[in-house]
Amino acid sequence: MVCSAPRAPGDSGRPRRPGRACARPLKRGVRRHHALVYYFVLIAPIPATLVLLALQLGALARYRHKSFLMLSVATSCGLFDLAGVYGVTYIHSHGETAPDSWFYASAFLLLAQMILGVWGTAWLFRSYGQISSKVSSQGRSSGAA
């Protein structure tokens, strides 16, 4: 979309003057609202991910099931990915270019988080299904006796 300032006065055929913005600047309250949403989106994943990691590590310590270990590693990869993304964003905001290795490392961590997270969750659900079927079969066998 090309944004331009209004046409030159009169019926002249001159082209539009190039403008800096398409619309009026945002009002002060709107800018403040956007800033709050921006900082929420930027900061909220950190405590939420730390809480998930604490829950996963607590479940691992209590139940010793390897799916919780896999989920904890996936969540840790997600935290390191967030740190990499924030680092690249910080470097770019200062007019510098981040090393390509940061980009590739962040992409690898994100991929690891996705694969291990899905795998760990599927493993946990499968184990829960096996336990649930054992409990229901034991209940039927004790009820029949």
CB-based burial label for 67 (10 Å; 0-12, 13-18, 19+): buried
What pLDDT is attached to residue 144? Answer: 58
pLDDT at 141: 77
Q: Which residue has the tokens 């229901």?
A: 136
Q: How far apart are CA 120 and CA 52, in angstroms?
A: 14
pLDDT digits (tens, 9 = 90+) for 83-128: 998 888 888 888 898 899 988 999 999 999 999 999 999 999 999 9
Q: Looking at the predicted structure, is the pLDDT value of residue 8 above 80?
A: no
- pLDDT class for 3, splitting at 50, 70, 90? low
20 pLDDT more than 70: no
Report whether 60 contacts 73 (CB < 8 A): no
- Whether 4 shows a pLDDT value over 60: the answer reads no
Grade residue 38 by pLDDT with cuts at 50, 70 and 90: confident
Between CA 20 and CA 32 the distance in angstroms is: 22
Q: Which range has highest mean pLDDT (29-38, 41-50, 51-60)?
A: 51-60
For 58-83, the pLDDT digits (tens) are 999 999 999 999 999 999 999 999 99
